[in-house]
Structure 1
């Protein structure tokens, strides 16, 4: 079995970025991250580029963490007005869900902002992303998924996060979205289960067939990891394990409600017992570059 530990939210703050870069440099099982390109500072961008210049860059995958709910869009707010509030920042997550359920999001605005984030990624980091996922899993909303899929194909980006073992609507109810509101986001669109995967099969996109980490945010430790992964060991599958390592500071408190759990996951990924468990079950940590 192979496993991709992906650190979401690189760039949300310099402290989070530094924590992820430290995990890369320590030789931990973390081999992948996804970048919030609309928030990344010059300091965080330089940190990542400097690390990749000094490392075997092929061992690490750097993806786009497509973001529609935190900070300001890359494009001027007036150009993507269905995605923003009165102050020009992105809608809060709950507001985005509400607008999605009422069919009030403009597909052209979503596509334009996705293109802008891909362009900003290339301009700030000097290369295209290896894969894409999204903040709050918004790319798993059917309207957004179709747009993201087309955009990834256009730029020959071949990997995306999908959650074949978790229904798409469950991703949103697990984040506190009432089931009836989640259901409205899927009405008349891709099926809640299966539709994403048949759609992805019609494209050149690949994805890990198993997705873990949704229910262990903040509780990741050697014991919980072994319990979660043991049922998949021995297979030839590729699994993605979502993580959010980081260090909490005042800047992060302005942007995220996920605070102490980031430090818990940062420490868990440094724990040598994690590597011992991987060896015990013959699980190889890899990146999205290894996804076939």
Structure 2
């Protein structure tokens, strides 16, 4: 580490606040430890009630570096806030693969998307008494074709000072090709950045945090890769949580959330930041 160089300032954002009480507790714990400086809230989640929002506000008030954003949610197994949202399956949003496919085939209505994101932004303002600091998307829906049009229009109108999350990385082409999931985010983010810039909406310069959740990877090793390649102002996405019945019912990502929390709460994480001359923004 070069002790004379100014540290790189990054965002470390925990997604999915509001999905379950166990996730909420884990995120608040990390905010209290100074190990996170951002979290995004699913206002349509079952654990986004008044008590959970008040607890998050109290934790963030003791850690003024912590930004709070909206985690716009447009995929199953959650319900829309608007009456006429389409497509639906059994009254719920469709799975993300179907939503992505519909966007790629130009079968979505950006105005319907805009109305739903606007409703979720209004719900955030009602719960927090202010617009979000930033807006991202559950399962990266904000990057999908046609979804991005409605998403950016809603943000521009209701939260013009918020920044939005893009998913493009700062890796070499060889490194990008190693992860099909992250490569897809790179490709989708090209047009997203173009449209956001055209609308004069700010976005993060680079992104990290995507990996294969289907097995139990070494999260410490992944964080080393994420931090090493991230420029100043870049964002790392994470998913810490404690497993509970609500989480098991709604989301397949369970035990890995506890491994993420354990690493971020432990002594190795601040050592990693120090070794790479990185600080949370």
Unaligned 5+ residue runs, structure 2? Answer: 1-7, 172-176
Q: How does 1:187-226 map to 2 (within 5 A)?
A: 192=188, 194-215=190-211, 219=217, 221-226=219-224
1:47 is the counterpart of 2:55:
yes
TM-score, L = length of structure 1: 0.81
Identify the residue that residue 185 of structure 1 maps to in structure 2. none
Q: How far apart in 2 are the matches of 1:91 and 1:224?
A: 30
The answer on whether the counterparts of 1:245 and 1:263 sit within 8 Å (CA) in structure 2 is yes
RMSD after superposition: 2.5
Q: How does 1:104-183 map to 2 (within 5 A)?
A: 104-154=107-157, 155-165=159-169, 174=181
1:64 partner SS: strand
Identify the residue that residue 186 of structure 1 maps to in structure 2. none
Using CA pairs below 8 Å that are at least 6 residues apart, which structure has the higher relative contact order? 1
> In structure 2, do the counterparts of structure 1 residues 129 and 285 end up closer, same or farther at CA, with 3 Å as the change threshold?
same
1:27 is the counterpart of 2:34:
yes
2:108 partner SS: coil
Q: How far apart in 1 are the matches of 2:228 and 2:98?
A: 38
Counterpart of 1:93 (choices 89, 93, 96) is: 96
TM-score, L = length of structure 2: 0.84
Identify the residue that residue 262 of structure 2 maps to in structure 1. 267
Q: How far apart in 2 are the matches of 1:173 and 1:73?
A: 30
The answer on whether the counterparts of 1:220 and 1:265 sit within 8 Å (CA) in structure 2 is no
CA deviation profile, 1:170-194 (whole Å, cap 9, x unmatched): 9x9629xxx9xx8xxxxxxxx8563
Query: How many residues were matched structurally?
Result: 260
Q: How far apart in 2 are the matches of 1:160 and 1:148?
A: 10
> In structure 2, do the counterparts of structure 1 residues 201 and 281 end up closer, same or farther at CA, with 3 Å as the change threshold?
same
Counterpart of 1:249 (choices 240, 244, 252) is: 244
How far off is 1:56 after superposition?
Answer: 4.3
